Amino acid sequence: MMQTTIGRRGALLGAAAAVSTFAIGGRAFAQTAPVVFGALPPLTGAGGPYGPAMLRAMQGVVEAANSAGGIKGRQIRLAFEDDQTNPDAGVRGARKLIDVDRVQALMGTWASSVTTAVAPLCWENRVPLFTVSGADSITLLPHQGHIFRTQPNSRLQIETATKWLLGKGARRVFHMAAQSPFAQSSQDVMTEVMRAGGGAVSGYVVYERDKTAFRSEVDTIMRSRSDTVMLNGYLPDVTILLRELYRAGFDGRRFTFAYAAPASVFGTLPNEVTNGLTTFQPSPDLNSPAFTRLKAAFGSTEVDPYSAQVHDHATMAILAAAQGGDATGTVIRDNVRKICQGDGEKVDNVTDGLRLIAAGRAVNFEGASGPCEFDERGDIRGTKFRYEVAEGGAYRVLELV
């Protein structure tokens, strides 16, 4: 599947665009074919509840940039493929985007397994990869600066969540983890933090995601005398686990990532099964102008953390190309930090950023997901977290810290 997004002015460029140029820093920037960026969201599979909104957020940024004249006069085309939340499909999609569409940056990979599989194709072809995947191992790859991760890595997420659980009185946490790149690292961090806080991980089971029943695992949880179970999986398997824990009479705290139990879970499970379920997730900057505009554009569709992050992916890729005076992957890679951390003028949208860069002024982009500052490995430096509890078929915010 592929879609292109070209602004209303695209048809006006015509043959004249093939010969006109802009002088930038003494170098000619040809106004020729559109700049092509790639999106690889999970439109289907376990990430399917998030992928369509993620794509919509990226398309909105591209449309805004094109309406403002594009990158130094060049319009932008957004090509996309569905990674199906599957590494093999992700690799096929990435190859298509890189080899056929000739994208200059790739955005929106969600599952850590997909990002891990796709990343080598990106650095080998000098295509920056912007991702919302959390596994620690991703930015430890030899990516040569080509990975920018707006999602907190798994260590930061698990450490933050475990400390929160300790603060709520948890002392014996059973860890149920789907087979994934972050299962063991999550276990290691949870064990370390629980021990330091006077608690313990009372059990640890790694399971295959395609299982349709977890009776033996639930029996193990029940025997462990745990006060909390951490469900470290995805929507299909967590849905089954919640049902079986309810049937078994587990009366402890059930805790999971928000992506594993989005609001759609209420349409699958009765309220008595979900009541009391606690979720956590990195939170967008709810008070930022960028988030407010994205929320207005989405209307009745929720702006989840991933949509906010990929909104910022597209903005950073466009502004980095404009800042560098060229739309190659290497130039984008080398200019991301120049447009989102430093002493430049604060901007929260692609239109103002393009205008300021065209005027020769430095910018510091802060987006819908918050400040976009990366360490030397490409990891985001920090973010807020939101905790919610299920009550009567809806989530109620407990804390934003």
pLDDT tens digit sequence for 20-53: 333 333 333 445 789 999 999 999 998 999 999 9
pLDDT, tens digit (0-9, with 9 covering 90-100), for 83-94: 999 999 999 999
Same domain (yes/no): 131, 76:
yes
Degrees to nearest 5, angle at CA 134 with 130 and 136: 105
Which range, of 16-30, 98-112, 307-321, averages the lowest pLDDT?
Answer: 16-30
Angstrom distance (rounded) from CA 170 to CA 240: 23
Give domain status of residue 276, yes or no: yes
390 in any annotated domain: yes
Q: Kindly state whether residues 181 and 251 are assigned to the same domain.
A: yes
Mean pLDDT score of the chain, rounded to an integer? 91
Cβ 250 vs Cβ 222: under 8 Å:
yes
Identify the pLDDT of residue 14: 36
pLDDT of residue 181: 80
Is 94 part of any domain?
A: yes
DSSP-assigned states of every residue in 243-281:
HHHHHHT--SEEEEEGGGS-GGGGGTS-HHHHTT-EEEE
Percent pLDDT > 90 in the chain is 85
Are residues 189 and 270 both part of a single domain?
yes
Per-residue model confidence (pLDDT) at position 163 = 97
Beta bridge partners of 395: 390
pTM: predicted TM-score of the whole model, two decimal places: 0.78
User: What is the reported pLDDT for 217?
Assistant: 96
List the one residue out of 281, 284, 241, 247 whose CA is nearest residue 395. 281
Label residue 7 by pLDDT band (50, 70, 90): very low
HSE-up (13 A, CA, CB side) for residue 163:
8
Strand, helix or coil for residue 131: strand
Q: What is the mean pLDDT of residues 338-344?
A: 93
What total of structural domains would you count in the chain? Answer: 2
Given its phi and psi angles, is residue 240 left (phi above 0), alpha (psi -120 to 50 degrees) or beta? alpha
What DSSP string runs through 176-194?
EEESSTTHHHHHHHHHHHH
**Does 212 or 30 have the greater pLDDT score?**
212
Q: How confident is the model at residue 215 (pLDDT cuts 50, 70, 90)?
A: very high
Task: Domain of residue 33: give its range.
Answer: 10-152+286-371
Are residues 262 and 198 part of one domain?
A: yes
Same domain assignment for residues 164 and 89: no
Residue-level pLDDT at 63:
98
Write down the pLDDT at residue 18.
Answer: 34
Report yes or no on 377 lying in a domain. no
pLDDT-derived band at 342, boundaries 50, 70, 90? confident
Residues in contact with 216: Cβ distance below 8 Å, sequence separation at least 6, in sequence order: none
Give the SS3 label for residue 53.
helix
Q: How far apart are CA 393 and CA 261, in angstroms?
A: 12
Regarding predicted confidence, which is higher, 246 or 4? 246
Mean pLDDT of 299-315: 95
Mean pLDDT of 336-352: 96
- Band (pLDDT 50/70/90 cuts) for residue 3 is very low
* Residue 263 shares a structural domain with residue 396: yes
Looking at residue 182, what is its pLDDT? 83
Of the candidates 4, 30, 36, 35, the residue with the CA atom closest to the CA atom of residue 17: 30
Residue 19 has pLDDT above 70, yes or no: no
Q: How many CA atoms lie within 13 A of 235 on its CB side?
A: 20
Give the per-residue pLDDT at 360: 96
Q: What is the mean pLDDT of residues 182-200?
A: 96
How high is the pLDDT of residue 225?
96
Which CATH number goes with the domain that contains 186? 3.40.50.2300
Same domain, 261 and 316: no
Q: Is 378 inside any structural domain?
A: no
Tell whether 251 and 387 lie within a shared domain.
yes
pLDDT exceeds 80 at position 13: no
Does 3 map to a domain?
no
Do 78 and 146 share a domain, yes or no?
yes
Consecutive H or E run containing 129: strand 129-131
Q: Report pLDDT for 184.
A: 92
Residue 4 lies in a domain: no
Interval 126-175: pLDDT, tens: 999 999 998 889 999 999 999 999 999 888 999 999 999 999 999 999 99
Between residues 10 and 372, the one the model is more confident about: 372
Are 139 and 230 found together in one domain?
no
38 and 134 within one domain: yes
Residue-wise pLDDT for 362-400, tens only, equals: 999 999 999 999 999 999 988 889 999 999 999 999 998
pLDDT band at residue 210 using 50, 70 and 90 as cut-offs: confident
Query: Is the confidence at residue 306, as pLDDT, over 60?
Result: yes
Residues 129 and 193 reside in one and the same domain: no
Q: Is the pLDDT assigned to residue 209 strictly greater than 90?
A: no
Q: Within a domain: residue 376?
A: no
What is residue 401's predicted lDDT score, i.e. its pLDDT? 86
